[in-house]
Structure 1
Amino acid sequence: MTAKRAARRPNRTAPRASRKTPAKPARADPEPVAPPTPVSDAENNYGYDSEHGALDVSDPAEMPSGDDAAPTRRSNITFLDLPAELRLEIYRLHFEGCDDTIDLDPRNRQTIHKKLALLRTCRLVYEEATHVFYSSHAFRIFPTQSLQLAKVKKPLLARLAPHQRRCIRRLELRLGIAWSDPPKSWVVSPALGLEDCINVRHLDVFVAIDPSCDVFNGYRKSNGFYERFCKGLLGDILVQMPWMERVTFDGRESVSKNGPMMSGLLKVTRSLGVPIGWGPERGWTDADDEPPAHEATHHETPMVPAVAIAAF
């Protein structure tokens, strides 16, 4: 029994059969690759005539197409890589749609503010676009859109930064609102910022209402009050800006060029030696004794003060 069990047990001391790992095949040397065929300048001109330095474009029918077309080169040119003249023209197109005369208006948030978001791009865009916007629009010195805005304590011009006011080239003074009680904010002071407007050479003065008209009898604060107020306002503006080269006057149909209102404004302008021009709406000329044929008289303009204020 013992002999049989001993025969069945494997001999642990006997060496095991060795497991041979199959040998890896020898790695063949890679076949030599032929160098790329050099491409001549004539084949790599992408449709341009190499003899003329890419000035003449080849016939589109002769240009390769499909799989035979040359690879398209992607341009890495950015907006700032464009010439400065082209960038300025793009800014002008971007600001199209804004009113020619900028006033303190609630609609500015829906129109102008969205376009001015461009200024947040970078320092260079901020400086260039700021100059284009403020130099290409006229800015109203005192707000006139409504009685509420006209009585604000801080006009639009005073809200601008000094470097923005230095870019402005045209200002507008619109007279006629609240002729019986002008807003207290309509005062020429250093806070208005006229001294910063060193590039302004042109002032537009538009007279919407002349209270000296007979239709305003009984409604005036006193005779000649508003006329004196407007003369003092215009005179203070011109004194603050001695570099002004021209003042252009215009007005509504009911405004007479020879009336007390216009006569006073013209007198103070001439006394300060500023040249005078005439706007397109009224059609006035330098001939004071020859008013335009379409100039209306006081009797031809039957309007009441309430209507006049609303129309302003």
Structure 2
Amino acid sequence: MRLKKSQRAEFFEDDDIVPAKPVPARLPSKPFRLLDLPSEIRERIYHFALFTPARKSALKKNGTVGASAKKSKAFSPTAQRIALFLTSRRIHDEASYYFYSTQIFRLFPVQDFARMPTVRQLPRRHRSSVTTIELILGNSWTAPPKTWTVNQGLGLHDMVLTRTLKVFIECDPSQPIFEGFRVSKEYYTEFAGRLMRQVLERLPGLVQVEFDAYPSVHKNGSLMTRLLQETRDFQKRVLWGPERGWVDGEDDYDDPAEDPADAAIDGLRASHPGVDVLAESLQLVSLGTETVAA
């Protein structure tokens, strides 16, 4: 038999009723103290904030030539980066140093639609954070731009932390394939050697120079010989980049029977960056010639 509600209440004493537990008041949350973290962890957080793209279009390469193009990182949205820099003066200094010290900035522009600013375009206060710069040679070998000058406005004297200069050579116009198109055999070699010397004179803390090139450029060629001589005159360490595959103690002398197509292709890339289709055609002609000869 079921009891009515009023009858069921008579079976319970007031002491048997368990009162509901009071809900504790919510304590205010404390701010997260980023600056209390070790510097290694802060840098990792800055990396995520600066280099986490929000869309696939941000993954486009920064140009097509040299280490500054192949090793560039995709940026996070502009608003996200600005918000990080505006957090506080100390976070601005740490995050901006991390950003500029991990990028490779070119000394002079080349026509491959790179989005990164050149050294001359950097704010003066941030030049002292740059650790690696790049000089791309071979571009516009028939008439080097007049703006490719090393002067006070370039700001190399401000780059006290720059330790590595990367030099990428697109072509060597002193090779026989360029006869009839160049000003003279040693014209571009002299221009590049003089430019290299002026750069080395103005970098106070430079330690090493890394050389790399397209396949047609040879270590024992006129251009590379001059650049290596300038580097050693300033007692800088010589390193070799990954694309060309040079190593210490080995030369790559030209084979007299070598097909000059590689040099022609590299020359086209350097003078007209938009001729990839023509370059592929030259490669096909070269392969066809080899097949017929075989």
TM-score for the superposition, normalised by structure 2: 0.69
Match of 1:78 in 2: 32
Partner of 1:299: 260
Cα deviation digits, residues 54-81 of structure 1 (max 9, x gap):
xxxxxxxxxxxxx899777553123545
Q: Quick check: 1:139 aligned with 2:105?
A: yes
2: distance between equivalents of 1:102 and 1:299? 27
User: Which residue of the other structure, out of 117, 125, 143, is the alignment partner of 1:163?
Assistant: 125
Q: 2:190 aligns with which of 225, 228, 248?
A: 228
Please give the alpha-carbon distance, in whole angstroms, between the structure 2 residues aligned to 1:192 and 1:125. Answer: 28
Greater displacement, 75-84 / 194-203 = 75-84
Q: CA deviation at 1:288?
A: 3.8
Give the structure, 1 or 2, with the largest relative contact order (CA under 8 Å, sep 6 or more): 2
Q: 1:123 to 1:307 in 2, by over 3 A?
A: closer
Is the Cα contact below 8 Å between 2:164 and 2:207 reproduced in 1? yes
Ranges in structure 1 where 5+ consecutive residues have no aligned partner: 1-66, 150-154
Is the contact made by 1:102 and 1:139 (CA closer than 8 Å) also made in structure 2?
Answer: no
Tell me if structure 2 keeps the 8 A contact 1:248–1:276: yes
The aligned residue for residue 123 of structure 1 is 89
Q: CA deviation at 1:300?
A: 5.1
Tell me the CA shift for residue 82 of structure 1: 4.5
Q: Among 157, 178, 194, which residue is 1:216 paired with?
A: 178
Q: Provide Cα deviations, 1:11-64, integer angstroms capped at 9, x if missing partner.
A: xxxxxxxxxxxxxxxxxxxxxxxxxxxxxxxxxxxxxxxxxxxxxxxxxxxxxx
Change (3 A) 1:246 1:308: closer
Instruction: Give the number of equivalent residue pairs.
Output: 233
Preserved CA contact (<8 Å) 1:170 1:202: yes
Cα deviations across residues 86-143 of structure 1 (Å, max 9, x unaligned)? 322111122226857379xxxx9x9785554232333222111110100111111111
Give deviations 1:153-200, integer Å, cap 9, x for gaps.
Answer: xx7212222220000111111111111111111111111000110001
Change (3 A) 1:298 1:207: farther
Question: In the alignment, residue 222 of structure 2 is paired with which amino acid?
Answer: P
SS of alignment partner, residue 29 of structure 2: coil
Aligned mate of 2:43, from 88, 106, 111: 88
Amino acid at match of 1:247: V
1:230 CA displacement = 0.5
- Please give the per-residue CA displacement for 1:206-242, whole angstroms capped at 9, x wherever unaligned: 1011111222111102221111100011111111124
TM-score normalised by structure 1 residue count = 0.65
Provide the residue aligned with 2:10 in structure 1: none
Q: Is the 8 A contact 1:258 1:288 kept in 2?
A: no
What pairs with 1:147-296 in structure 2 (closer than 5 Å)?
A: 156-289=118-251, 291=252
